[in-house]
Chains A and B, each alone.
Chain A
Amino acid sequence: MISVKNAGKKFQDQWIFRNLSLEVSEGDSVVIVGPSGGGKSVLLKMIAGLLRPEEGQIHVNSQNLGMLFQKNALFDSLTVEENLLFPLREVKKITGQAAQEKARRFLFQVGLSGCESLFPDEISGGMQKRLGIARALIIEPKVILYDEPTAGLDPITSKMIAELIRKLRIETQSTLLTVTNDMQRAYQIGNQIFLLAKGRLTLGGGPLEVQRTENLELRQFIYGLKSGPLTEGLV
């Protein structure tokens, strides 16, 4: 469903990663974890077509694609309901009563009924996240990209968001690619977990395998150890 072959990306002559390859099959839920600044969000944006790779190829086998942005990227001049009506009108060409009914159904699914006429800055961080998820899903994409879906949220809300992502994935039969720093959510959402660090992508396996991994980089990341291969050479 998603194919990344020998991709490389650089900013101002500094390579973020090179020769990076990743295959995500239909129906998979792949999570990429890794230290901040490792290029996780860059990879996601490249897959979404928002950034171009300097080298390699990226192919997504789907007509439309949903994405939840790290900071939600909600349309702040539109109300909660209009944030959902916009993709329906622009992508699905659904307007009027049908669009409103669909938007309200999705708002109900993510627990935002009653917030239709509020603006994004009038609702909480967790609610904004749920609205972002609803906006990504309302066009019924086969591939959904989640960029740090639980960043900045408290543990309870994080768990609820991850649960919602998992539930909606089962309901919509979609393929997920998530990047996060939160290992608990990675175990909850993913059936395959990768580590992106030092420009390399390492397969850790399923949640249980990752918890028992002997890979030193992955162990250092999971347990937040100060010394290890990931921090080698850093002051």
Chain B
Amino acid sequence: MNAIRTLIQATMGFFQELGATALFFGRVVRTFRNTQDNFQPILAQVAFVSYRSVSTVLFAGVFVGAILVLQIDLILSKYDAEIFLGGLNTSTVIREVGPLIISFLLAGKIGAFTAAELGTMRVTEQIDAIECLGTNPIHYLVVPRLFGIMISSLILLFIGLIVSVGGAMSVAWFARGINTVEFASSIPKFVSISTFGAALLKALIYGGIVATVSCHRGFTASGGARGVGQAVTQAAIYTNLYILFANFTLSHILDLIEVLANSARGVS
């Protein structure tokens, strides 16, 4: 009985938090629409986030591509279908793994940093001081961070995909003897413009989740150093949960759209 009650409470807590985060996102978007001079601070955040994350993305990208190519090859080789290695690997990286890995990296590196930074500003009354001066802290602190992280996630996805496919090609060549031309030849069969569109949409949404959750948790932190610690922990937990939830939902929706589009075109 207690286990059921705990489960219900946890589920309710999840959706309550989701609602509060969605309302916060709405508040940020309204502030963005009603204020000016946002371009430069957002650009500064894009540069900051991209610069801080690019090395991790490069490192992770190479290994994700490398691991995937080995795993996919293991399966394909059972059916003598190695010819599809490049296409399957690239499609998987673009559609699923790329946006997901980028968002997890962003959550760990930038999300935690943002939650801690805003949380510290909240508990040391710096946000109150901004408000007291008659300046909207959402405009000054949150708008640049939120949109900066979202735009950066697209840039990092682009870099990550190139590196990941590069890593996969290298491993395919050295470990399996599949040359670059062979590897690339099957890519058009599996990757289309819509694949890139889906990846960009996912990266944008996941980046938005990372940014909104971390800004929200930091902005509403309370209770000194302990409160900041809790804000960072909760930001990490909720970001990952929401991304997985969004990934599941979005993948289904995008697959459904693709099936419908194919049937409309008469493609089986």
Q: Which residues of A contact B (CB under 8 A)?
A: 45, 48-50, 64-67, 69-71, 73-76, 86-87, 90-91, 135, 139
Task: Say whether B125 contacts A139, CB under 8 Å.
Answer: no
Task: Say whether A75 contacts B126, CB under 8 Å.
Answer: yes
Task: Say whether B135 contacts A91, CB under 8 Å.
Answer: yes
Task: Say whether A76 contacts B126, CB under 8 Å.
Answer: yes
Q: B124 contacts which chain A residues (CB < 8 A)?
A: 71, 73, 76
Q: Give 7 closest A-B pairs by Cβ, nearest first.
A: A73-B125, A73-B129, A90-B135, A67-B132, A69-B125, A87-B133, A50-B128
B120-141: which residues lie under 8 A (CB-CB) from chain A?
124-126, 128-135, 140
Q: B134 contacts which chain A residues (CB < 8 A)?
A: 64-65, 90-91
- Chain B, residues 163-196, CB within 8 Å of chain A (1/0): the string is 0000000000000000000000000000000000
Task: Say whether A50 contacts B132, CB under 8 Å.
Answer: yes
Task: Say whether A74 contacts B131, CB under 8 Å.
Answer: no
Q: Which residues of B contact A (CB under 8 A)?
A: 124-126, 128-135, 140
Q: B125 contacts which chain A residues (CB < 8 A)?
A: 69-71, 73
A130–chain B nearest beta-carbon distance, Å: 16
Q: A49 contacts which chain B residues (CB < 8 A)?
A: 131-132
Q: A64 contacts which chain B residues (CB < 8 A)?
A: 133-134
User: How many A-B residue contacts, CB cutoff 8 Å?
Assistant: 45
Q: A69 contacts which chain B residues (CB < 8 A)?
A: 125, 128-129
Give Cα distance in the complex from A87 to B125, angstroms.
16
Give Cα distance in the complex from A76 to B120, angstroms.
10
Give me 29 A-to-B residue pairs in the complex whose CB atoms sit less than 8 angstroms apart, sorted by A's number. A45-B128, A50-B128, A50-B131, A50-B132, A64-B134, A65-B132, A66-B132, A67-B132, A69-B128, A69-B129, A71-B124, A71-B125, A73-B124, A73-B125, A73-B126, A73-B128, A75-B129, A76-B124, A76-B126, A86-B133, A87-B133, A90-B130, A90-B133, A90-B134, A90-B135, A90-B140, A91-B133, A91-B134, A139-B133
Give Cα distance in the complex from A135 to B132, angstroms.
11
B31–chain A nearest beta-carbon distance, Å: 14
Q: B131 contacts which chain A residues (CB < 8 A)?
A: 49-50
A51–chain B nearest beta-carbon distance, Å: 9
Q: A66 contacts which chain B residues (CB < 8 A)?
A: 132
B141–chain A nearest beta-carbon distance, Å: 11
What residue in chain B is nearest A135 (Cβ atoms)? Answer: B129
Q: A45 contacts which chain B residues (CB < 8 A)?
A: 128
Task: Say whether B132 contacts A48, CB under 8 Å.
Answer: yes
A212–chain B nearest beta-carbon distance, Å: 36
Give Cα distance in the complex from A73 to B132, angstroms.
11
Give Cα distance in the complex from A86 to B121, angstroms.
15
A48-B128, A64-B133, A67-B129 provided; 18 other pairs, C-beta below 8 A? Answer: A45-B128, A48-B132, A49-B131, A50-B128, A65-B132, A66-B132, A69-B125, A69-B129, A71-B124, A71-B125, A73-B125, A73-B126, A74-B129, A76-B124, A90-B130, A90-B134, A90-B140, A91-B135
